[in-house]
Amino acid sequence: MNSLKSVVVLMGVLMLVLAACSSGSNGDSTSAPAAPVAPLSTVLNGVPGIVDPTNTGWPRTVDVLNGLVTIDAKPERILTVSLGHDEVTYAMVPASRVVATGSYTKLAQHSNVAHLAEAVGAITLDAEQVVSYNPDLVIASPFTKADFIDALRNVGIPVVQTKLHNDPDGRIQDIILLGYVYGEVDRALELADEVRARYDALREVTGSKPVSDRQRVLSLTSYSDKIYTAGANSTEGGIIEAADGINVAALAGLDGNPTTSLEGVISMAPEVIFIPQPPDSGEPFREQLLANPALAEVPAIKNGRVYVVPNKFFTTLSFWNLRGAEHLALLLWPDDFNSGEFVGFSFPE
Amino acid sequence: MSRVMALGAIRTNWRSSNISVVTRLAAASAVLGVLLIVAMLASLSMGPVSIPVTHVASIVLEPIGLDFATYSRTEELVIEQLRLPRIIVGALVGMALGVAGATMQGLFRNPMADPGIIGVSAGGALGAVIAIALGISGIFYQALSAFAFLGAMGAAFLVYGIATVGGRFNMATLLLAGVAVSAFFGAIVSAIMILVPSNEALREILFWLTGGLDSRSWEHVRLAAPPIIGASAIIFVMSRDLNLLMLGDDEAKSMGVRVGAIRPGLLAAASLITGVAVAVSGTIAFVGLVVPHMLRLVVGPDHRVLIPLSAVGGALFMVIADTIARTVVQPAEFRVGIITAFVGAPFFIFLLIRNKRHTTAF
């Protein structure tokens, strides 16, 4: 009987120890002390996609674009298929936990994490190739084909398909959701605070401007004679709004990234034009715009306010767009930013 | 009516008085010509920048001294530098595709033949896609047009080379070689689209493959006008011979046609204008197929009438299609190739159904 008591007591102690371990490694940091459960669950409670905000252990379940997905353990071999997700992922986890990225992520002209992604493999959307990297989690975008996701599921690899947003609140939620998926909620909250603080700093400047001072802004890119603009619900449109400009393409009723014409540019009468494409093609396009006599009366052309901007800040879809908004705000309000220099975002140590 | 009957009609008609040909040609040309002028003027008056019709008319007529309204410098430049060259390029491309389509349909005695049947369009597409994939198209002006033209002409030479044995070529082999080369080039284009790393380049390729007249300038007019007008005129001069070729080689020879020279001459001219059209506008489907076919239903199969009317009809069709493309969602734009198919296909089907009981074509 005594020995039975001893066994029961021992098991109880063991369970308490295990519970403590589980709480201490609540999935969000391997070495940090346990975060207080109540505040954390409160934060997680407001994030769409997190099924049980009180569950900070493993397994954990998220409700995402491809349905309910359960992740059994903290992912250590992460593979993502879109540039935006890659940028959020590298900001959240040590680079050693990423096993492969999309090929676009490796191009420094387009990607803000190219320096981190250069060491890992590049994938196409071939399921077998993805399997060859032996990932324990794949992150997919809304554009990833359903059969690709199904193929990975069938071989037992969990796939989390999420949409990345282009508004400030949506970006914060994207960061926290992926932080939860990766078991890096602490780091996610830290990054969310960083992003939020920079949005606030930007708003502090732009928000002080009278409405009448808001400038009419147009995003243009040109590839092989065709001219594209950015209307409502576009990444560049979100950046214009974040910089407190007036997106004239959205004002003209355009949505997404349709083609337009030089005559369309005249009719939209922008005061500022920015060209988010690499300098080797962006500069010649800028010169064409400035030299075209038909555009001479367009305010942006007349005043020489046509700028080629780093496309990796403007065309990716991640919180790095905030860096683009800062860049644009500096062009719109050059006297209001003391240093005129902005830095990148932090990465996990 | 069967093809034999149609050929019989040509056999009978070509000997008949040239006066009836001239009369038919003049009457139909007058109608289509007036419609083309009206369409071009209407197109000039429409666009994202609102310009009163009186201003448009004044700007257009100013060179002949009829300057009756005050207009701004911007309005003048929009008309002269943006709308007018684009409309003219559109008309030239339509003219080229119409003439090339009528010629190919005649040469191959097949109403389903179109200007791309011998691989010229596929070659042009491959050239343009290579320029886009290598990033050359964004670096220097006209690179895309130059690559597309080289691709189109390269395809034409390749197909002719395959089909030529001992200095002569066989039409059936030519047709099959065209199909094979088109499929091969299409596969290369698909491979490039899969491998190209940039999303922008991929989107650009897809857009180019649907054809468009974005940002066409006087430079494009200068590039396209001489070969298209020149080669179309040559085809028109040879249109009587084209009629006789439809009777068969032996009969054509017996009537004095130098088959060995006329047929490759017609093919080369049709390939040239198709290549130029592809170079300045991308691959625009349906115009070269539907315009000659529709006109043949109206004016009959005589190429002395059909060729010039296909030129005017093709121009008219393209001007209308491009006007729709650039105004329907302004200040954004549609691709004109999408409009030609949207507008042309239902109308074509309507004509086919209407005429199926008494068609005289072929």
Alpha helices by DSSP H, chain B? 3-15, 18-44, 53-61, 73-77, 84-107, 120-133, 143-163, 171-195, 199-209, 218-237, 239-245, 249-254, 259-281, 287-299, 303-327, 336-355
Closest to B122 in 3D by CA, of B162, B177, B163: B177
**pLDDT-derived band at B358, boundaries 50, 70, 90:** low
Closest to A220 in 3D by CA, of A306, A310, A302: A306
Asked if residue B44 has pLDDT above 80, the reply is yes
How many separate helices (H) and strands (E) can be counted in chain A? 15, 13
More confident residue, A126 or A254: A254
Closest to B279 in 3D by CA, of B342, B233, B227, B229: B227
**pLDDT-derived band at A42, boundaries 50, 70, 90:** confident
Chain B hits for A281, Cβ within 8 Å:
135, 138-139
Check if B337 contacts A (Cβ < 8 Å).
no
- List of residues 6+ apart from B18 with CB closer than 8 A: none
Q: Which pLDDT does position A14 carry in this prediction?
A: 44
Same fold for the pair A27-198 and A209-336: yes
What value does the mean pLDDT take over residues B133-147? 74
Other CB atoms within a 10 A radius of the CB of residue B170 amount to: 12
Q: Which pLDDT does position B17 carry in this prediction?
A: 54
Q: Which pLDDT does position A66 carry in this prediction?
A: 94
Asked if residue A305 has pLDDT above 50, the reply is yes
Q: Which pLDDT does position A28 carry in this prediction?
A: 55
The top-level CATH class assigned to A209-336 is: alpha beta
Is ipTM > 0.90 here? no
Q: Which pLDDT does position B75 carry in this prediction?
A: 93
- Radius of gyration of the CA atoms of chain B, in A: 21
Q: Do A185 and A179 contact (CB within 8 A), yes or no? A: yes
More confident residue, B113 or B266: B266
| Cβ contact A261–B333 (<8 Å) | yes
Asked if residue A13 has pLDDT above 80, the reply is no
pLDDT tens, position by position, A225-252 = 789 999 999 999 999 999 999 999 999 9
Asked if residue A24 has pLDDT above 80, the reply is no
Instruction: Using CA coordinates, name the residue in chain A closest to B214.
Output: A226
Q: Which pLDDT does position B294 carry in this prediction?
A: 87
Q: Which pLDDT does position A311 carry in this prediction?
A: 93
- List of residues 6+ apart from B225 with CB closer than 8 A: B88, B92
Nearest to A263 among B78, B197, B212 (CB): B78
Query: To the nearest whole angstrom, how far is the Cα of A195 from the nearest Cα of chain B?
Result: 27
Other CB atoms within a 10 A radius of the CB of residue B100 amount to: 38
* Tokens 């597309």 -> residue: B148
Query: To the nearest whole angstrom, how far is the Cα of B122 from the nearest Cα of chain A?
Result: 18
**pLDDT-derived band at B282, boundaries 50, 70, 90:** confident
- CATH 3.30.590.10, domain B3-355, yes or no: no
Instruction: Using CA coordinates, name the residue in chain B closest to A278.
Output: B138
Q: Which pLDDT does position A34 carry in this prediction?
A: 47
Asked if residue A342 has pLDDT above 90, the reply is no
**Domain boundaries defined on chain A:** 27-198, 209-336
Single-letter residue type at A110:
H
Chain A hits for B50, Cβ within 8 Å:
267
User: Which DSSP string do the residues of B206-259 spell out, in sequence order?
Assistant: HHHHT---TT--HHHHHHHHHHHHHHHHHHHHTHHHHHHHTT-HHHHHHTT--H
Half-sphere exposure of B168 (CA within 13 A, CB side): 5
Q: Which tokens go with B74?
A: 């911007």
More confident residue, B207 or A16: B207
Q: What is the CATH number of domain A27-198?
A: 3.40.50.1980
Nearest to A294 among B81, B331, B335 (CB): B81
Q: Do A105 and A113 contact (CB within 8 A), yes or no? A: yes
For chain A, helix, strand, coil in percent to 5 are 50, 15, 35
Which residue in B74, B84, B202, B208 has the most chain A C-beta atoms within 10 A of its own C-beta, making it the best mutation to test that interface?
Answer: B74
CA distance B340 to B210: 10
Nearest to B331 among A107, A252, A281 (CB): A252
Chain A: which residues have CB within 8 Å of chain B? Answer: 103-104, 107, 110, 221-227, 229, 231, 249, 252, 254, 258-268, 277, 280-281, 284-285, 292-294, 296-297
* Chain B residues 132-151 within an 8 A CB cutoff of chain A: 132, 135, 137-139, 144
Nearest to B331 among A107, A254, A284 (CB): A254
Question: Which DSSP helix (H) or strand (E) runs through A267?
Answer: helix A262-268
The DSSP code for A318 is S
What value does the mean pLDDT take over residues A102-128? 90
Cα–Cα separations (whole angstroms), residue A250 to A171, A240, A277, B359:
21, 10, 20, 50
